[in-house]
Amino acid sequence: MIIYHGNRFTFKPEARPEQIERALDSLRNQGRVVPSVTSFTVGRDFGGEFEWGAMFVIENGLDGYWEYLTHPAHLNTDRVGLPLVDRFMSFDITDGTDPEVGAKIAELHQRRFDAMPDINDLVSGLGEYTGSAAPGPHGKP
């Protein structure tokens, strides 16, 4: 099963250009170094209410998705980027046929939030969060 994992986001108005570029560079780096990511793009988001977006093609199904979520490069992006983000949306598209895959993806996110309180806090601190980690970290609906 292949999972296409997407993010759409808008930076806080006070985020400085060099901070934004550092966060975008970290996103690009995770696309290059996470083994389960076979293709990616990071850039401007057009046709919606977000400024930026990223899409990662993840092989090896849920195992590859877990590798992606917990890889040090992805965690670095969370730590340098999320403090700058105001609004964030994540979503997943898959070629799998398991009707429970959405719930299984949300469970992986929750497992990560439970194991990594700093990541939980960063996501909880976003101005707005919607997406594949629903219902979201502790403290967020």
**Per-residue model confidence as pLDDT tens digits over 93-133:** 999 999 999 999 999 999 999 999 999 999 988 989 988 87
Q: Is residue 141 part of a domain?
A: no
Q: Is residue 110 part of a domain?
A: yes
- Characterize the bridge pairing of strands 3-11 and 85-94: antiparallel
Q: Is the pLDDT of residue 135 over 70?
A: no
Tens of pLDDT, residues 9-33? 999 999 999 999 999 999 999 999 9
CA-closest candidate to residue 114, choices 85, 139, 81, 80: 139
> Band of the pLDDT at 136, cuts 50, 70, 90?
low
Reported pTM: 0.91
CA distance 5 to 32: 15
List the CATH number of the domain containing 51. Answer: 3.30.70.100
Number of domains in the chain: 1
Residue 55 has what pLDDT?
Answer: 98
Q: Is residue 28 part of a domain?
A: yes
Q: Is residue 140 part of a domain?
A: no
Q: Is residue 46 part of a domain?
A: yes
Domain with 51 in it: 3-131
